Amino acid sequence: MLMEAIQESLGIIEGKETEGKDNILRELEDGSQMMVINFYPPCPQPDLTLGMPPHSDYGFLTLLLQDQVEGLQVHFQDQWLTVQPINNAFVVNVGDHLEIYSNGKYKSVLHRVMANSKKNRTSVASLHSLPFNCTVRPSPKLIDQHNPKRYADTNFDTFLAYVTTREPKRKDFLDSRKLTSVCVEEKEIK
Protein backbone atom coordinates (compact mmCIF):
# COMPACT_ATOMS: atom_id res chain seq x y z
CA MET A 1 0.00 0.00 0.00
CA LEU A 2 2.77 2.45 1.00
CA MET A 3 4.94 1.24 -1.87
CA GLU A 4 2.05 1.62 -4.33
CA ALA A 5 1.68 5.26 -3.25
CA ILE A 6 5.44 5.75 -3.59
CA GLN A 7 5.43 4.22 -7.07
CA GLU A 8 2.58 6.50 -8.05
CA SER A 9 4.56 9.51 -6.79
CA LEU A 10 7.44 8.38 -9.03
CA GLY A 11 5.12 8.07 -12.02
CA ILE A 12 5.49 4.28 -12.17
CA ILE A 13 2.22 2.62 -13.07
CA GLU A 14 2.47 -1.04 -12.14
CA GLY A 15 0.10 -3.48 -10.51
CA LYS A 16 1.08 -6.78 -8.91
CA GLU A 17 -0.25 -8.49 -12.01
CA THR A 18 1.85 -6.41 -14.47
CA GLU A 19 4.28 -8.62 -16.37
CA GLY A 20 8.03 -7.99 -16.25
CA LYS A 21 10.92 -9.11 -14.13
CA ASP A 22 11.29 -5.83 -12.26
CA ASN A 23 7.84 -5.85 -10.70
CA ILE A 24 8.80 -4.89 -7.17
CA LEU A 25 5.22 -4.91 -5.85
CA ARG A 26 5.11 -8.63 -6.62
CA GLU A 27 8.60 -9.20 -5.21
CA LEU A 28 7.73 -7.32 -2.02
CA GLU A 29 4.80 -9.68 -1.39
CA ASP A 30 7.34 -12.37 -0.44
CA GLY A 31 9.90 -9.82 0.62
CA SER A 32 12.32 -9.84 3.50
CA GLN A 33 11.52 -8.41 6.90
CA MET A 34 14.07 -7.81 9.64
CA MET A 35 12.79 -6.88 13.04
CA VAL A 36 15.13 -5.12 15.46
CA ILE A 37 14.25 -4.41 19.07
CA ASN A 38 16.40 -1.68 20.61
CA PHE A 39 16.72 -1.07 24.32
CA TYR A 40 18.60 2.03 25.51
CA PRO A 41 19.34 2.10 29.25
CA PRO A 42 19.74 5.51 30.94
CA CYS A 43 23.20 7.03 30.61
CA PRO A 44 24.58 9.33 33.34
CA GLN A 45 26.56 11.40 30.82
CA PRO A 46 24.48 11.48 27.63
CA ASP A 47 26.65 14.19 26.06
CA LEU A 48 29.63 11.79 25.97
CA THR A 49 27.93 9.06 23.93
CA LEU A 50 25.12 8.16 21.53
CA GLY A 51 22.39 5.53 21.82
CA MET A 52 22.98 4.61 18.17
CA PRO A 53 25.48 6.24 15.78
CA PRO A 54 24.38 7.93 12.54
CA HIS A 55 23.35 5.44 9.85
CA SER A 56 20.77 4.81 7.14
CA ASP A 57 18.69 1.63 7.06
CA TYR A 58 19.06 -1.41 4.81
CA GLY A 59 15.88 -1.99 2.82
CA PHE A 60 13.10 0.01 1.20
CA LEU A 61 11.13 1.20 4.19
CA THR A 62 11.51 0.97 7.95
CA LEU A 63 8.42 1.12 10.13
CA LEU A 64 9.53 2.27 13.54
CA LEU A 65 7.56 2.20 16.75
CA GLN A 66 9.15 4.31 19.48
CA ASP A 67 7.94 4.65 23.05
CA GLN A 68 7.21 8.03 24.63
CA VAL A 69 10.88 8.76 25.42
CA GLU A 70 12.42 10.96 22.73
CA GLY A 71 15.85 10.15 21.33
CA LEU A 72 15.52 9.57 17.58
CA GLN A 73 16.96 12.36 15.44
CA VAL A 74 17.01 12.73 11.65
CA HIS A 75 19.56 14.71 9.69
CA PHE A 76 17.91 17.44 7.65
CA GLN A 77 19.56 20.50 6.10
CA ASP A 78 22.75 20.11 8.16
CA GLN A 79 20.86 19.86 11.44
CA TRP A 80 19.78 17.03 13.72
CA LEU A 81 16.03 17.22 14.31
CA THR A 82 14.32 15.27 17.10
CA VAL A 83 11.38 13.13 15.97
CA GLN A 84 8.74 13.70 18.65
CA PRO A 85 7.05 10.43 19.65
CA ILE A 86 3.36 10.25 18.74
CA ASN A 87 1.32 7.71 20.63
CA ASN A 88 0.45 4.58 18.61
CA ALA A 89 2.02 5.98 15.42
CA PHE A 90 4.77 4.54 13.24
CA VAL A 91 7.70 6.59 11.97
CA VAL A 92 8.32 5.59 8.34
CA ASN A 93 11.95 5.91 7.29
CA VAL A 94 13.19 5.73 3.70
CA GLY A 95 15.98 3.13 3.41
CA ASP A 96 18.92 2.70 1.01
CA HIS A 97 17.03 0.37 -1.36
CA LEU A 98 14.33 2.95 -2.03
CA GLU A 99 17.00 5.54 -2.83
CA ILE A 100 18.55 3.07 -5.30
CA TYR A 101 15.20 1.96 -6.78
CA SER A 102 14.05 5.57 -7.24
CA ASN A 103 17.44 6.40 -8.82
CA GLY A 104 17.97 9.06 -6.14
CA LYS A 105 14.53 10.70 -6.21
CA TYR A 106 13.87 9.49 -2.66
CA LYS A 107 16.80 9.92 -0.25
CA SER A 108 17.42 7.42 2.50
CA VAL A 109 17.35 9.20 5.83
CA LEU A 110 20.46 9.56 7.97
CA HIS A 111 19.40 9.12 11.60
CA ARG A 112 20.85 8.54 15.06
CA VAL A 113 19.62 8.01 18.61
CA MET A 114 20.59 10.23 21.54
CA ALA A 115 21.16 8.81 25.01
CA ASN A 116 18.82 9.81 27.83
CA SER A 117 20.14 10.61 31.32
CA LYS A 118 17.14 9.36 33.30
CA LYS A 119 14.84 7.06 31.36
CA ASN A 120 15.01 3.73 29.54
CA ARG A 121 13.97 3.89 25.93
CA THR A 122 12.67 1.02 23.74
CA SER A 123 11.99 0.99 20.01
CA VAL A 124 10.94 -1.67 17.52
CA ALA A 125 12.15 -1.29 13.94
CA SER A 126 10.75 -3.40 11.11
CA LEU A 127 12.90 -3.23 7.96
CA HIS A 128 11.20 -4.25 4.71
CA SER A 129 12.80 -5.11 1.40
CA LEU A 130 12.84 -7.55 -1.50
CA PRO A 131 13.61 -11.25 -0.85
CA PHE A 132 17.28 -11.72 0.11
CA ASN A 133 18.08 -13.41 -3.23
CA CYS A 134 16.72 -10.53 -5.35
CA THR A 135 18.71 -7.73 -6.93
CA VAL A 136 17.81 -4.14 -6.11
CA ARG A 137 18.38 -1.76 -9.02
CA PRO A 138 17.19 1.63 -10.21
CA SER A 139 13.80 1.18 -11.87
CA PRO A 140 14.30 0.96 -15.66
CA LYS A 141 11.18 3.15 -15.91
CA LEU A 142 13.11 6.05 -14.36
CA ILE A 143 16.18 5.82 -16.59
CA ASP A 144 16.53 7.49 -19.95
CA GLN A 145 18.90 9.70 -21.90
CA HIS A 146 18.43 12.61 -19.49
CA ASN A 147 18.32 10.50 -16.32
CA PRO A 148 21.27 8.10 -16.31
CA LYS A 149 21.49 5.24 -13.88
CA ARG A 150 23.01 6.64 -10.67
CA TYR A 151 23.47 3.48 -8.58
CA ALA A 152 25.02 0.08 -9.16
CA ASP A 153 22.82 -3.01 -8.74
CA THR A 154 23.02 -4.50 -5.27
CA ASN A 155 21.89 -7.55 -3.37
CA PHE A 156 22.16 -9.01 0.11
CA ASP A 157 25.55 -10.65 -0.62
CA THR A 158 27.01 -7.29 -1.69
CA PHE A 159 25.71 -5.75 1.52
CA LEU A 160 27.05 -8.55 3.74
CA ALA A 161 30.44 -8.44 2.02
CA TYR A 162 30.54 -4.71 2.66
CA VAL A 163 29.51 -4.69 6.32
CA THR A 164 31.71 -7.63 7.28
CA THR A 165 34.82 -5.87 6.01
CA ARG A 166 34.25 -2.55 7.72
CA GLU A 167 32.39 -0.76 10.49
CA PRO A 168 29.13 0.60 8.99
CA LYS A 169 29.08 4.36 9.29
CA ARG A 170 26.66 7.04 8.12
CA LYS A 171 25.51 6.27 4.57
CA ASP A 172 28.73 4.69 3.37
CA PHE A 173 27.20 1.48 1.98
CA LEU A 174 24.92 3.56 -0.19
CA ASP A 175 27.84 5.79 -1.18
CA SER A 176 29.70 2.65 -2.31
CA ARG A 177 26.83 1.89 -4.75
CA LYS A 178 26.83 5.36 -6.30
CA LEU A 179 28.02 5.52 -9.89
CA THR A 180 30.27 8.55 -10.33
CA SER A 181 29.56 10.88 -13.20
CA VAL A 182 32.60 9.38 -14.99
CA CYS A 183 31.14 5.86 -14.76
CA VAL A 184 27.75 7.13 -15.88
CA GLU A 185 29.33 8.87 -18.86
CA GLU A 186 31.42 5.80 -19.75
CA LYS A 187 28.31 3.60 -19.66
CA GLU A 188 26.46 6.05 -21.88
CA ILE A 189 29.29 6.07 -24.44
CA LYS A 190 29.39 2.24 -24.65
Contact yes or no for 112/80 (Cβ under 8 A): yes
Instruction: Supply the minimum distance, in Å, between the C-beta of residue 94 and ligand AKG.
Output: 12
Of all residues in this chain, which one has the CB nearest to ligand AKG in the complex?
123
108 scored as a contact of ligand AKG (CB under 6 A): no
Nearer to ligand AKG, 97 or 111 (CB): 111
Contact yes or no for 93/61 (Cβ under 8 A): yes
CA–CA separation, 147 vs 25, rounded Å? 23
Within 8 A by CB and 6+ apart from 128, the residues are 28, 31, 32, 33, 59, 60, 61, 62, 63
CA angle 101, 90, 31 (to 5 degrees): 40
Residue 64 interacts with which of ligand AKG, Fe ion, none, CB < 5 to 8 Å by class = ligand AKG
Near ligand AKG in 121-180, by CB under 6 A: 123, 125
56 scored as a contact of ligand AKG (CB under 6 A): no
Nearer to ligand AKG, 26 or 112 (CB): 112
Residue 100 interacts with which of Fe ion, ligand AKG, none, CB < 5 to 8 Å by class = none
Region of 8 (left: φ > 0; alpha: ψ -120 to 50; beta: rest) is alpha
CA–CA separation, 58 vs 95, rounded Å? 6
What does the radius of gyration of the chain's CA atoms come to, in whole angstroms? 18
Near Fe ion in 64-123, by CB under 5 A: none
Nearer to ligand AKG, 118 or 190 (CB): 118
Nearer to Fe ion, 57 or 99 (CB): 57
Of all residues in this chain, which one has the CB nearest to Fe ion in the complex?
57
List residues near ligand AKG by CB under 6 A.
36, 38, 52, 57, 64, 66, 72, 111, 113, 123, 125
Binding site for Fe ion (CB under 5 A): 57
